[in-house]
Chains A and B, each alone.
Chain A
Amino acid sequence: MKELGGVNGLSRRDFLQNGLVFGVGAQALASGYAAIPDVFARAVLAAKSAAVQNDKVLVMIQLGGGNDGLQTVVPMSSSQYHDFRPQLSAVAAKAQPISKDLGLHENLKGMKALYDAGKVAIVQGVGYPNPSFSHFDSIRVWETADPARKAQDGWLGAAIAKNYDSAGHPLVGCACGTTNIPGMLRDLQATLTVIDNVNTFGFQGGQNVENVMGTLYRNTPGIYGALFDSSMTTVRDTVAQLRTSSAKYTPKGSYSDKVNLVYSSKNQLAAALQLAAELIVTGTGVKVLHVTLGGFDTHYTELNRHDALMSYLDAAVTAFHDDLSAYDMADRVMIATWSEFGRRPKENASGGTDHGTASPVFLIGDGIKGGLYGETPNLAKLDQLGNLSYAVDFRSVYQEILASHLGVDAKEILGQTYDRVPFVKSTAG
């Protein structure tokens, strides 16, 4: 039977013989390391080269719909801002100053505290040339790291496929709180887990049904056959993994999804981050996580809705960071936000804003060199469509995440080397 090449030339059979594989067979081994899971995690991380054998984890938070950067990092003292936004500029008076001219939205209280502690980097004016104003088009650009819209695979999917042996370790890449694979993680060569609700992630009918399904989804013919089969294998490996990990984890942050948001019930951000924390602190070998908070497409009555989104985001991120800190892992984990675009500086008649361009990216964690990066958007110099010009190419942010945080070859993923935005304290190696 054909063997896949594994870590450092080890074959899959070696992994199996040595017990270095996740799944039912590794259960007993894993449970012995409940207290110090990262030792175990490191041992089985399945990195494809010695250079990427580190304990870093990345958590991407998608702010779906196009987050309004000017309402998030508020140019409080800009007269143009007040002119463009007679209604929305009401947030300026209550913003929490982080510089002479800029303030964080008043509801980002926990993130302001983290900023003051030097754990938050804000890269301003992140975008790309010839921006698309289509949600789907621009999401695809961010997902594939390709403004030419030719690439199919997600940049994180590619990073997983090229650097980790995800086939034996389905939790190397995981999307939490959703049902489908996010585009950023998509890659035919990467195995990915998707867990919508961890409490129901198991087989109805128990082990016997599970065994039968494992047999039923094997060597399935047709164009979708391999996808079905690998999905089922991933389910079974993940179920086995969760069986051991959930028993070992108690949340140490106050996660709550009880919020009054239009899209809250299908965006259980806090629950998704809690699951992310569980996967991280119990040593499942997880490297890349993706969660989503939707509802940022604020074409109407933005003031209240964006306020609520900020407060929800802040509460969930703060709980997550508290949790990781309590487990002494906040130095390993980087949170990065992304959104397909910012919004038009001028507000519209519905008390909202239309699709725009550049917006800020937040990077959070104890390994972050906090502060402001990039350039504050220049409201006096809008482009001919009335939008902000970008100052930092989003791939420069990816470059720093890949090379300095995850310690992988960024050029292999991005096609070229981009200027560093040096928000990582000490680079991984």
Chain B
Amino acid sequence: MGNQTCQAERYIGHMNDDPGTAKSPKKARKAPLGIRRRHVLIGAGAAAGGLAITRVLGLHHFGDLPTISLPGQTPAPTIDWISPLDKPEAQVAQLLRRATFGATPAEYQQSVKDGFKTTVDRLIETPVAEPPALAGADDASQQKSINPQNLISWWLDWMLRTPTPFAERMTLFWHGHFTSDFRKVTLQTPFIYWQNQTWRHNALGNLHDFLYQVTIDPGMLRYLDLGTSTGRAPNENYSRELMELFTMGVGSFTEDDVRNGAKALSGWREPVTQAMYDALVLRAQQQGRQPPKNLTPDTVKTGVFVQQRAYVGPVKFLGVTKQWDTKAVLEQILAQPATAPFIVTKVLREFVTDQPADAYVKRLADGFRKSNYDLKTLMRDVFTSPEFLAPTTYRALVKSPTELMVNMAKSIEQPGLARAIGQAGQGQGQTLFDPPEVGGWPSNASWISSNNVLERVNFAQATLTGIAKLPAFNNAHLTQLDGVVSPATAQLLNSSPDDATRWLILLASPEFQLK
């Protein structure tokens, strides 16, 4: 027992030892969890005896644990995590959890050695590495569509292997912001695949250019119907979401702005690739029809502007009446006072805190505008702001399913899990390229439901069960959880008979769900 006590104190690390809360190491040790040395030894013996890892993960040695828990709504005493963010290694770990998808032990060690500032520089300034092409995707057509699981795995695989994970993290952020989905866009075009590349190219560029590329992106033209909107009968879908969800936020524009914006933005159509054109011709021949006239393949990977489709004449948009074109519309939006704070708020809720203070938003928004909407400047300001490492931001964000699962794979050094992660996403509420709605993904507390907690835990269990050789645990709670764990997590880690069980506790723990 003496030995166990010692371990408990080691695992607990930064624990709140408020005497009133049964949180102190001393009290935690006495908590009636039913874990006895005898059981630990039985479990360890079974593992040593060569039992299949599945049985070891079956945790039969924990049989004494209570099988029923009291229903949960009793308001627990509000105890916060003790922030370790005064320590350089914890600062780096938080940066890697938020700006990337967490780190392998080697990546962690290197970043700790480099220090926080150098790591920020490296993340932001290293030129973006492009993923290898997805075979056949550029030639997607009605004859041959992209397999959605292949597309999803393709991206996840790059998240797992890329040398520039910050760029992938930002691409994921923008994917949830400038949203499209493959159901409406379909995979009988390369559009969604192209969109992923366009977002990556622009993820750390300039918002002026990015917004223009978003607007004329073929997938976006289809997803929000700008590709079928004409001056004669404009479709309001893109005009509205451009202002409401992409740039300014609800309440900062009028219905007339939506309608006139739709007119001002009209004139675009989707491009037709050679493969799409060939498929159309082939289908027409098979059906005994003439191939479509007035149609030739395009070579661009953007929308095509057709003057005859555009609205001609002055309209009043965000206070100015004139003849507009698409770039002028976007510049007018970027000139609005609502735009920078709106984008900054979204960024801060993703990378720093769910409820950023007004003054914080304003300060970063001012800098963002002053930089003429340079995204590298913005992200550097975010990561180097004192707020980023303030104690209140410690574990203040919830990992999305993608972040969680990629982080799991990195922590156990399994870069080959892309397909498994892709398949598990749907049950946790996140299928890449298929957000639930035009508003993108939920965030933070919205990820926590009974369904999702179960699916997250199940993914950890299934993944660990399926791996032939797990890396040694090697105090992963220090590198992955900053050594800050709840009494329950500490006790279970202490009592675990083997590394497989320790990994399960760590990856399934509430601590690991947070960033």
Residue contact A204 to B462, C-beta cutoff 8 Å: yes
Q: In the complex the two chains form, is A219's CB within 8 Å of B427's CB?
A: no
Q: With a CB–CB cut-off of 8 A, which chain B residues contact A227?
A: 445, 448
Whether B66 pairs with A211 at a CB distance below 8 angstroms is: yes
Q: In the complex, A317→B161 CA distance in Å?
A: 47
| Beta-carbon nearest neighbor of A195 in chain B | B451
- Determine if B250 is an interface residue (Cβ-Cβ < 8 Å): yes
Nearest CB of chain A from residue B68's CB, rounded to whole Å: 5
Shortest C-beta distance, A237 to chain B (Å), equals 7
Partner of B58, one of A25, A169, A208, A217: A208
A218 with B488: CB separation less than 8 A: yes
Segment from B293-301, B339-347, B363-371, B430-438 that makes contact with A = B430-438
B510 touches A212 (CB 8 A): no
Contact digits for B117-152, partner A, Cβ 8 Å, 1 yes 0 no:
000000000000000000000000000000000000
Contact (Cβ within 8 A) B183 A263: yes
Q: State the Cβ distance, B131 to closest chain A Cβ, in Å.
A: 26
Contact A189 B240 (CB under 8 A): no
User: Which among B190-198, B224-232, B271-279 touches the partner chain?
Assistant: B224-232
Interface flag for A254 (CB, 8 Å): no
| Among A110-118, A132-140, A324-332, the stretch in contact with B | A132-140
- Report whether B446 and A181 are in contact in the complex, using a CB–CB cutoff of 8 Å: yes
Tell me the residues in window 81-113 of chain A with beta carbons closer than 8 Å to chain B beta carbons.
none
Please give, as numbers and ranges, the residues of chain A lying within 8 Å of B457 by CB-CB distance. Answer: 203-204, 209, 213
Contacts of B69 in A (CB 8 A): 214, 218, 233, 236
Residues of A within 8 A of B224 (CB): 299
Kindly state whether residue A355 has any CB partner on chain B within 8 Å.
yes
How many cross-chain pairs have Cβ atoms below 8 Å apart between A and B?
Answer: 259
Name which residue of chain B comes closest to A182, CB basis. B449
CB <8 Å contact, B250 and A134: yes
Interface centre among A25, A179, A221, A262 (most CB of B within 10 A): A221
- A352 interface residue (CB < 8 Å to B): yes
Asked if A415 is at the interface (CB within 8 A of a chain B CB), the reply is: no
Chain A CB within 8 A of B486 CB? yes
Assuming the contacts A201-B454, A350-B229, asked whether A219 and B487 have C-beta atoms less than 8 A apart, the reply is yes
Give the residues from 257 to 294 in chain B that come closer than 8 angstroms, CB to CB, to chain A: 258
Q: Which of B396, B439, B444, B455 contacts A136 (CB 8 A)?
A: B439
Report yes or no: A135 in contact with B235, Cβ–Cβ below 8 A.
Answer: no
Q: How far is the CA of A168 from the CA of B465 in the complex (A)?
A: 33
Closest Cβ of chain B to A1, distance in Å, is 8
What chain A residues lie within 8 Å of B452 (beta carbons)? 179-180, 194, 231
Known: A221-B80, A233-B69. A203 touches B250 (CB 8 A): no
Q: Inside 8 A of B453's CB, which chain A residues have their CB? A: 217, 228, 231-232, 235
Report the bound CA distance from A25 to B68 in whole Å. Answer: 7
Encoded as 1 (CB less than 8 Å from any A CB) or 0, chain B from 239 to 266 comes to 0100011000010000100100000000
Chain A: residues with Cβ within 8 Å of the partner, total of 85
A228 and B57 contact, Cβ closer than 8 Å, known pairs A179-B428, A262-B183: no
The answer to whether A201 and B451 touch (CB under 8 A), given A224-B514, A262-B183, is yes
B240:A355 contact, CB within 8 angstroms? yes
Contact A135 B439 (CB under 8 A): yes
User: A4 touching B62 by the CB < 8 A rule?
Assistant: no
Asked if A24 meets B80 with Cβ closer than 8 Å, knowing A208-B60, A222-B395, the reply is: no
Q: Is the CB of A194 within 8 A of B488?
A: no
User: How far in angstroms is the closest Cβ of chain A from B422?
Assistant: 15
Q: Which residues on B sit within 8 Å (CB–CB) of A216?
A: 488-489, 492, 505, 508-510
A378 within 8 A of partner (CB): no
- Asked if A57 CB lies within 8 Å of chain B CBs, one says no
Contact: B446 with A180, CB < 8 Å? Answer: yes
Residues in B neighbouring A133, C-beta threshold 8 A: 240, 255, 258
| Chain A hits for B232, CB < 8 A | 349
Residues of B within 8 A of A213 (CB): 457, 508
Q: Tell me the smallest distance from the CB of B272 to a CB of chain A, in Å.
A: 18
Q: Please, which residues of chain B bring their CB within 8 A of the CB of A231?
A: 72, 448-450, 452-453
Nearest CB in chain A: distance from B259 CB, A: 8
Complex: chain A residue closest to B501, CB-CB = A212
When the two chains form the complex, which single residue of B76, B450, B461, B505 contacts A226, counting CB atoms closer than 8 Å? B76
Contact A205 B71 (CB under 8 A): no
Q: Which of B157-202 contact A (CB under 8 A)?
A: 183-184
Contacts of A389 in B (CB 8 A): none
Cβ-defined contact, A167 with B71, below 8 A: yes
- Residue-wise, chain A 151-176 has the 8 Å CB interface mask toward B (1 for contact) of 00000000000000011111000010
Which B residues from 434 to 484 make CB contacts under 8 A with A? 434, 436-439, 442, 444-455, 457-458, 461-462, 465
Task: List chain B residues, Cβ under 8 A from A71.
Answer: none
Q: Which residue of B lies closest to A27 (CB)?
A: B68
CA distance A135 to B236 in the complex (A): 13
Bound together, the chains give a CA A9 to CA B358 distance in angstroms of 44
The answer to whether the Cβ of A21 comes within 8 Å of any Cβ in the partner chain is: yes
A134 to B248 Cα, complex, angstroms: 13
B219 close to chain A: CB less than 8 A: no
Contact (Cβ within 8 A) B73 A221: no
Q: A168-B71, A179-B449, A235-B450 are in contact. Are A205 and B235 (CB under 8 A)?
A: no
Q: Whole-angstrom distance between the alpha carbons of A4 and B74 in the complex?
A: 7
A-B residue pairs, 4 tightest by C-beta: A349-B233, A233-B72, A167-B73, A179-B429
Contact sample, A vs B, 19 pairs, CB 8 Å cutoff:
A132-B250, A136-B244, A137-B250, A179-B429, A194-B451, A195-B450, A205-B58, A212-B62, A219-B22, A220-B486, A222-B80, A224-B514, A225-B76, A229-B72, A237-B71, A350-B228, A350-B229, A352-B225, A352-B235
Apart from A136-B245, A136-B250, A227-B445, list 19 A-B contacts with CB within 8 A: A133-B255, A179-B451, A193-B450, A193-B451, A194-B451, A195-B450, A203-B454, A208-B59, A212-B492, A215-B65, A215-B66, A220-B488, A222-B395, A223-B80, A231-B453, A235-B453, A235-B454, A236-B68, A350-B235
